[in-house]
Amino acid sequence: MFSNAPLGVMDPFAETDQKFQNYVAQLQGICFNHYHDCAEGSVMRATVDLFVWDLENVLYKPEKKYLAPNSPGRNIPDDKFDIAYFNEMAKKYRLLVETTKQNVVAGAKVGTYNPGCPIEMGNFNLENYKNPSSKMWMWDWPAGSDKKNYRDFVDFQTPGGYFLTNNLENRDGIYQIMADQEVNAHWSSIPRIPVEWMFTTNLPNAPVPPKLAEATSIFTVMSGAQGAWFWDEVFKMTKNQSTLQNPRQRNYACYEYYIAGLYRLSKHNDFLQTNYQAVIPEVSFDGGKSFSQLNAAELRQKSLPLVRALVSKGRILLAAQNPKATGADQKVTLVVKYGNWKDVITLKGENVYLGEARM
């Protein structure tokens, strides 16, 4: 993206600002050759509602070895390199978003996959919930002489939504989904539309179990996210032939369970169309003797069920799951309250509880 040279994809110095802007502006033709929806009277600008750049160019710790071979950045003294890199990369990302809005799309909301605030995935460290230094450097770094930041130009962020194989082994995947959303929501009010995939990101790209796939779509909404970028790798499908990957046969059943979670949510469309608020209700795990509000990382540490809610106009939509259930028939009874409302729910196995009530 930032350079056509080998090793230069992480190099903000490889192209001048003007050359970089010209390159991005040339993509305005996508409305003709890709979206087929050029805005009336515009110069080849697409009328899509949302546009996200799938970029992963930001180094959390700058290193010259990632620069293009002839990059001007290689001539910067080592003691000044980090600051120069931060300045240039923040400016390039700002230009990316600004130029996209000016030349590529007409009125669309624009975001980028990377960076996240503070990080894209894996926020089990409790420090990430409370320590400002946990934020990724670009989130607060000035992106120009007007002192504005990258976050001043993006319309949404895309944190979290991915799994590693150890999430499946430890059965803590849904805790990770929620921890990533909670941490990013804590540090930024920018709307979240996470990128989600129902296979592990590390090899062998194992499909996630049905209950986790269903829980992912439900709890993403319960986190207050505005939607999800749901994707899979591109494979050419041939009629009457299996789709293979390395050369394992692809299994898309996990997608059906993810969609099943969305179907369950659709039964509450009238609620979801209101101006609701995502909340963490108080939960008693001891029959009502004591109540606590625990974030996802704390629940994971204690292997406790996850309970989250949306509230709107005297109504509450509640979701709960026990990811650490020891069997399909294991039952756990919880007392849940929010404000003056209180109720008792029972979880069975790893089934996702979803219910609505008036408070």
The full DSSP string for 174-231 is: HHHHHHHHHHHHHH--S-B--EE-SBBSSTT-PBPPHHHHHHHHHHHHHTT----EE-
| pLDDT category of residue 247 using cuts at 50, 70 and 90 | very low
Lowest mean pLDDT among 25-29, 79-83, 109-113, 221-225: 25-29
Q: What is the mean pLDDT of residues 284-306?
A: 98
pLDDT for residue 278 is more than 90: yes
pLDDT for residue 5 is more than 90: no
| pLDDT category of residue 266 using cuts at 50, 70 and 90 | very high
Distance CA 306, CA 278 (A): 14
Q: Are 99 and 21 in contact (CB under 8 A)?
A: yes
pLDDT for residue 249 is more than 90: no
Q: For the segment 31-64, what is each residue's pLDDT rounded down to a tens digit?
A: 888 888 888 877 788 999 999 998 888 888 899 9
Q: What token pair was written down for 155?
A: 């319309």
238 or 248, which is more confident = 238
Q: What is the mean pLDDT of residues 200-212?
A: 90
What is the structure's pLDDT at 18?
93
Q: Are 250 and 243 in contact (CB under 8 A)?
A: yes
What is the structure's pLDDT at 4?
56
pLDDT for residue 252 is more than 90: no
| pLDDT category of residue 251 using cuts at 50, 70 and 90 | confident
Helices and strands in the chain: count of H runs, count of E runs: 9, 13
What is the structure's pLDDT at 239?
66
Question: In which residue are the tokens 């920018």 written?
Answer: 190
What is the structure's pLDDT at 235?
64
| pLDDT category of residue 103 using cuts at 50, 70 and 90 | very high
Q: For the segment 122-147, what is each residue's pLDDT rounded down to a tens digit?
A: 899 999 999 998 888 998 899 989 98
Q: For the segment 344-358, what is each residue's pLDDT rounded down to a tens digit?
A: 999 999 999 999 999
What is the structure's pLDDT at 10?
84
* Phi-psi sector, 25: left (phi>0), alpha (psi -120 to 50), beta: alpha
* Phi-psi sector, 224: left (phi>0), alpha (psi -120 to 50), beta: left
What is the structure's pLDDT at 287?
96
| pLDDT, the chain, mean | 90
What is the structure's pLDDT at 122?
82
